[in-house]
Each structure stands twice: as C-alpha cells, then as structure tokens.
Amino acid sequence: MIGRNAEIAELSRLIAESRAGQGNAVAVYGEAGIGKSALLAEAANGGSSLVLRAAGVEAESELPYAALHLLLRPARHLIAGLPPGQRAALHGAFGEGPGQASGHDGAPGRTGEYGAPDRFLVGLAVLTLLADLAEERPLLCLIDDVHWLDRASLDALTFAARRLAAEPITMIFAGRDGAEPAINGVPELRLSGLARTDCERLLAGRAAGLTPEARDRVIEEAEGNPLALLHFAEILTPEQRAGHLAPLPLRPPGPSMAGRLEHSLRATVRQLPERTRLLLLVAAADGSGSLHLVLRAAQAFGAGPEDLEPAEQAALVDVSGDRVRFRHPLVKAAAYHEAPLTRRTAAHRALAGVLDGHEHADRRAWHLSAAALEPDEEISAVLAAAGERAGERGSNASAATAYERAAQLTVDRERRAGWLAAAAESALGAGQLPRAAATADRGRRLTADPLLLARLASVRAAVEAEGDDPAPAAYTLIAAAADIVRAAPADAASLLATAASEAWFAGDRGALGRAADLLESFAPQVDARLTGVVAAVRGMERVAAGDPAAGLPLLRAALHSTETGLGHATPLMTGPGGGAIDRVAGTYAVFGALMTGDDDAACELAAARVAACRRHGLVGALPHALQLLTQAQILRGRHAEAAASGAEAWQIARDTGQEGRLRHLHGVLARLAAIRGEDDECRRLAAQAEGSSRERNGSGWGGCALTLLDLVRARYDAAAERMAGILDGPLGHTVIVTFALADHVEACARLNQVDRATAALARFDAWAEAGGRPWAAAVAHRCRALLAPREEAEAHYVAALAVDPQAGRPFEQARTRLLYGEWLRRARRRADAGTQLRAALESFVELGAVPWAERARTELAAAGVHAAEPGPPAAGAALSTLTPQELQVVRLAATGATNRQIGAQLFLSPRTVGFHLYKAYPKLGISSRAELTDLELGPPV
C-alpha cells in the first residue's frame, strides 16, 4: 500500500481498540479505483482477527439478504443458539422459515406487520451472532462495494454497526463517493488521490520502463487514482512508453474518473475474440461469480472454458476453482456495457434458462426482468411473486422494486395499479418516503377501485404527515375512508383514527369533526376493539373546540377499549400512517390516559405496549411505545425512569432512521432537561424538536419545556410571551400545552398581568373540573392562590396541599410548597415558611429538579432558616449515578434474567449487557449480581 500510511494507521487503531473490547465501525468512501478494496485487504492482513467478508454485487442488489448470507456463512453454526425471536427472524430473512418468530421468552408471535421478520430484529440477530462468534477470537467484518449491497443486508449490518459497544468487533464498510444508500450513523474515512511522489513510486514498481515524459503524462491524466495509473500505463503502446505521445489525452472525455476508466476498459474488451467477449458478458450479467453457471449459460452462444484464456491473459479476470472474478467492478461494467442491447438481453435469458429450482427463483425472476423489452404478463407475475417473497423476508426495498417492475410489464390497468400500491406500501415500509409518494401517485391515476385508492391514500398521507403541516394527510385519509366505509369498515376506521391524530396536531377542528362524524356514522360495524377509539375521536374534537366537559369523558372511554395484548397482528395499512387494530386502540388508550391526566393508567398502558414490542421483536415500533411511556413517566414524576425510557427510545429511533420520531422525542426530552436545569441541552433539544414545522411533530413539548426553563430562571416575560404564542397556535389544545397553562398563570401573575392569568386559569380550571383528577384540582388551587387577595390565598394553598401526594404529580406538589413557602416568608411567618420550603427542597432533590432545589434553598436562606446539609444517601439514591442504559440492565438483572435474556429485551448483545453491569456495580456499592436483589431498583420496563 503506497501513500496510505495515515489510513492504515487509523484502521489499525480501530482494530486494536476493538480487540481491547471497544467495538467500532467505519465507512471508507472514495471514487472508483481509488484503492478502497486494497485498503480492506491490507486491514485483513494486519493481525490475528477472524475475518468475515462480503461485497455488494450489482446483479444481486435486489436479492434480499444476499450479502448478509455471504458474510455470515462462517457463523451459521451459531444461529441455533440465538434467542428464539432473533433465530426465527434470521431464518425468515434467509427464506428458511415461514416468517414467524418467537418473542424473547419463546412465546409465538409475529415480528412484522405481515408476519415478515422485523428488519431491525434481523439486525439485532446479526449483532448477537457476530458477538457470539467474537467470543472465539476478535472479529473483523469487511463489507465492500456497499453501493451495490441489497438494502435488507445494509439495514441489518448498519443497525448492528451502530450498536457495537463492548464487543471485540470492527466493521469496515467501503463504497463509492456519492453513492446511495449512505451508511448513516457510522464514522467516515475518505480516500483522496495519491500524491505525486506516491504515484511515481507506484509506477516505478508496477510499470517500469516508462520515460519521464510518459510517466508524467500518465500521472497527470490519472489524477492520483491508482487504478487509472496502472491502466493508463498498461494501454500505452511501445512508442508511447518511449515518450512519443500524441497531444490527445490518454483517457476519453467524461464527467467522472469512473466513467472515463470504464470507457477505456471497453476499448480493451473490444480487442478480445468475440466468444471471449460473449463469455465475459454472461459472467458480468450473472454477477455471482459461479463459473459452472456462467459456462452453462454461455453454451447458448457457443462459448466454452477455453474462451476465458484471452481474458485471463489480459488480466481482466481471475479464475480459481469454480469462481470467476473480474479484476475490478469497472471491468465487469465495461464487459457488460460494451455489448449491444440485444446480446445483453440474450445473456439474461440464457442465465434464466439455467437457473432452475426454488432456491434460484429470485435470481431467475430478475434475469427475466432484465431480458424483457416489452410488456409480458407471465414475467410480470413472476416479478410480483418475487416481490411477495421479498416482503415475507422483510426486505421492503427489494419488494418495492419487484412490484414496480411487475407494474411496468403488465398492460392491465387495474393489475398495474395493484402492483404499484404494493410497491408504494413496500417503499414506505423501507423508509423511502419520496419513492413511496411518487409510486402512490402513479397508481392513483390508474384506478377507480375505492379499496385500492384507500391503500394508496394511506401511503400518500403517511408521507404528507412527515412534512410541515399534517392537515393534508388528515384530509387525504378522511376522503379515502369515506369511500370504503361499506366495503371495509375496519380499514375505514383505522384510516379515520389516523386522520384524527393528524388533525389533532394540525389544530384542524374541521378535519377532527369530519373524522368523528364519519366514525359515528358506521360505529355499529366497527370492530369491538375500536369502539373506544370512536368515542375518543369525538372527545378530541370537543377538547380542541374548548369543551373539555364533553370531551374528557369520551376520551376516558378509550382507556377501556384495549387489553394489554398488543401483539396481535391484524394487518391493515403499513407504515407511519397505519398499523394493526390493536395498535390503533392501544395508542388511543395511552392518549386517552394522558389527555385526561390519569398518569398511573398512562404508565401502565404504555408499559404494556413496550412489553409487547419487546416480546414480539417489534424493534421499529418500540421507539413510539417508549416515547409514550417517557411522557407518562415525566408527568408522574418518575424522572429517572423517564430518562432511561427516553434514552432507549432515542437510540433505537436513531438506529432505525425514524427522523419524525426523533423530533418528537427531542421535545419530550427537552422537558426533562428543563426540570434538571440543563439550560443548553434544553434549548438544543427544543430547537431540534421544532424544526421547520412549528413543532407539530413534537406536539408542543419543546416549547413548553422552554417555558418551564424560563419560569425557574425568573424570565417571566419570555415565559409568558412564549406560552401566549403556543396557546394561540395549532397546538394550544394538546396534552402538554394544557398542563402548561399553570405555568402561564404563574408567569403572568409574576408580571401582574391579571387578565391574561385569569383567562389561562379559566381554561385550566375547566379542564381540571372535567377531568376530575385530584392533582389537577390541587394545581388549580395553586393558580387561584397566585391571583387571590392576600386574605384568601392561604386557603387555596392549604387546599392544594391537602391532596394525597401519592395521588398525583410530586413535581407539581413540590412547586406548590415552594410558592406557599415564598408567600409565608413574605408574610413574615418564617417557621411555617421553613416547613414548606424544606419539604419542597427534599422533593426537588429526590426528583433531580436542580434549579428548583436551588430556588428552595435561596428562599430558605432569605427566611433565615438553615437548610440542612445533605444526609446519608437515601436507599436507592445511587440509582441517580447510573446511566439510563445501566439502570435498565440492573433492573432486569435483579429479576434473575441472564445477560442473553436481557440483551434480547433491550436489543443489545450479551457482552454489552455484561459491560453495563460491570460499570454499574461500583456505582451501586456492590460487587456481584446476587447483591442486586437487596437493592430497591424499581420495576423493569
């Protein structure tokens, strides 16, 4: 390796770190021929690690898990030892099972919307399998040509790469600059052209005999590209090598070095005998490297093994055993594109003719596709079947491509629309939103079938919901649902439930009312599990209209509309805009609990959703379930648990590419940061939640978090103005904004803006009375105390504090004690003030509300009351020193779960679980797993 000392040193450092137990990954990018593959080969030769290799193959880019299958071949013997859900997911991905999977506890269940393996659960299975293999010796995974990797393999490998922690594993990806898909979340290493001195060294060793003039000309034209250097030197004639070069360039003109190199290589291919060119064409069209298969197909052109010799002599291919390998992917591209279209299609037909048997069905389908130059109903059906198989294996991207090609090859408009609908749904499931929208639009223009149009509308709405304004998505879904009410009431109800959610965050009362009217019009036909949803949608409309007395009782009905068994898999529309009946009902149950202020029910229902996702391996659905749980835990005052739930939700949402979910989570986590007094973090998270959509995706949490932060920092003007803007905007009726009305009252009261405070109190009072929650009544009393005359204020404070602290929100009660203590100090009742302020201080400290505790200490000092020094840590106080991940791990370990069982639940490798336990023990003051049972750790989630 010439000129790559820095890059080799960087890879060597990463490999050394992984051998020491710090897993890592890196993506090497560069133009074609720059030396990526050579760098990977050098990394493989640098030590004693076990090396696994795979490379993307252009001809296999639509074959589900083709690259993953190749990479994991040396580890196949370990698959049987995987946790049941992961084992079934991996078997399903490889087409070796029915697509069913068991949960982490072995209970049967589905792992995807259609019983297909959850693509991220496959990634977790890859992580566990690699970690198991690395127990034998350190592991180096080299994945070349990722720009041609099938999307299913890339998703699984990227998921695993992002979650390497304590494993002795290094994963190195290599791909071309600017190629899609990118490997998000993995550090990059970019290769540039070689320096001139390095180019001279390379030519001196590989192309000796060049005159200085010829050498300089080659270096100039190659632009530091090693492959170009060697190729341009090789194609020089003896006269040119002696320095007699024409003024014309050695390379043909073109937009990129890859294009220019391929053009030059095509000229080299043209010089070969015809049967050699035909044999190379077949090998390039095949792409698998199977010499036996290539020779069988090449018989159709009269080519045989002897015709490979000229290509070997020209150093275009290497033949070893039963494998034929092109010297470089650009050589393969040159061999393929140099042939005219008719011969390329003939090569694909020949390959399809020799690919028989079920195991080759997908390869055969794609060769038939490549050979089809006009509509063909038989090949269309073959491609559609390939799409169905890809979907069953969890490869949505490949399924989308197969269905799109099936649509191209049929002349039947309805059949084409159906294939496009399947393609759009698959693209949505793969997270390819622009592709999903464009495909759905094409399908919509072809059909008048209301059921098909509803499927297409569901896809379109899911894409629209990711934009700045969710209102269009709501209207799209309402219109689609109206057309299928009679034919498919269950699907219509699901569409309307989703439409109501989008309308809620858009602040569009008209759309909410229309969704509620439609649902009620066919309520008797709705699945029993959705009866609570019907009531809840009307309740949402009433709450948004400012009538909580009518709305909240209807929302409470959703709490009883679902059981905790959320693992059913009644398939409806897929993607962000749809889901199973149970998921719709379950989401509305949690929402009903949150909106009515029933925090205990919200925690319980959300925890049940999280447990179901873990049990059935629904990695993609878990961040939303954890987000709901985080919200409920924050409101209930379980801040440490909320931090753990939120951190896991954020990590998995990031690892699975859920950008919309991340925006929402940023808003939720901003509130935790505000409570803790992490000012910069709060502002950062709130800004990321808001984005360009006025925080509709964050449902107001970010803005309300900033208001809370302003309030504790005594920036009352900023708090009041921010809340006024939120209340007047589209999110003024949402859950967190309703609860933040009390913050607005306090800020306005501090500013003596009585009218604004009174108006905010009236809104909160109406909601509190309708909801009937004791904690809400206590907060309403606190707000009245802030606005009441001196002689009436104390009665309201006393009434607020009369509520059982176990019945509500401890953070709110501590704030009430703080305000009451301040009031008592101003009334010169120092002893009474000290009692309230000390109680507030203790609560704030326990809740981790640092700036609020500081305010309580300041008030105690002003009252002349000594704040007691912190005593010995309370039982369980050491938990605050644990990271969110460590907290989850130790709680599960305390139940007796093994590292492997814990890893299956938290989507971590067993070694990473052990690493977190090792880090947690000293913080907890223990030295073994057995001692965990003596600690009050709280329940695992």
Structure tokens at 210: 């060049």
Per mean pLDDT, which range of 33-47, 654-668, 687-701, 845-859 is the poorest? Answer: 687-701
- Dump pLDDT digits (tens) for 331-350: 999 999 999 999 999 999 99
Q: Can you give the three-state secondary structure of 687-733, one letter per residue? A: HHHHCCCCCHHHCCHHHHHHHHHHHHCCCHHHHHHHHHHHHHCCCCC
Element spanning 563, H or E: none
Contacts of 558 (CB under 8 A, 6+ apart): 532, 533, 535, 536, 539, 585, 588, 589, 591, 592
CA–CA separation, 331 vs 268, rounded Å? 9
Q: Looking at the predicted structure, is the pLDDT value of residue 95 above 60?
A: yes
The whole-number pLDDT of residue 906 equals 87
Q: Which residue has the higher pLDDT, 98 or 157?
A: 157
Is a pLDDT exceeding 90 seen at residue 441? yes
Output the 3-class SS for 281-314: HHHHHHCCCEHHHHHHHHHHHCCCHHHHHHHHHC
Give kind and range of the element (H or E) at residue 55: strand 50-55
- For 401-436, how does the pLDDT look when each residue is reduced to its tens digit (9 = 90+)? 999 999 999 999 999 999 999 999 999 988 888 999
> Residue 579's pLDDT band (boundaries 50, 70, 90)?
very low
The predicted pLDDT at position 263 comes to: 85
Q: What pLDDT is attached to residue 245? A: 67
Alpha-carbon span 896 to 764, nearest angstrom: 46
Q: What is the pTM assigned to this prediction?
A: 0.87
- The SS3 call for residue 580 is coil
Reply yes or no on whether the pLDDT at 719 is more than 80. yes
Q: Is the pLDDT of residue 567 over 70?
A: no
From 257-271, 474-488, 817-831, the region with the lowest mean pLDDT:
257-271
Give the burial class of 269: count Cβ atoms within 10 A of its Cβ; 0-12 exposed, 13-18 middle, 19 or more buried: buried
pLDDT at 685: 94
Q: Which helix (H) or strand (E) holds 108?
A: strand 108-110
> Which whole number is the average pLDDT over 218-223?
88
pLDDT at 235 over 50: yes
Model pLDDT for residues 865-882, shown as the tens digit of each residue: 877 655 444 545 677 788
Instruction: Let me know: does 485 contact 450? Beta carbons within 8 Å.
Output: no
- Cα–Cα distance for residue pair 446/472, rounded to 1 Å: 22
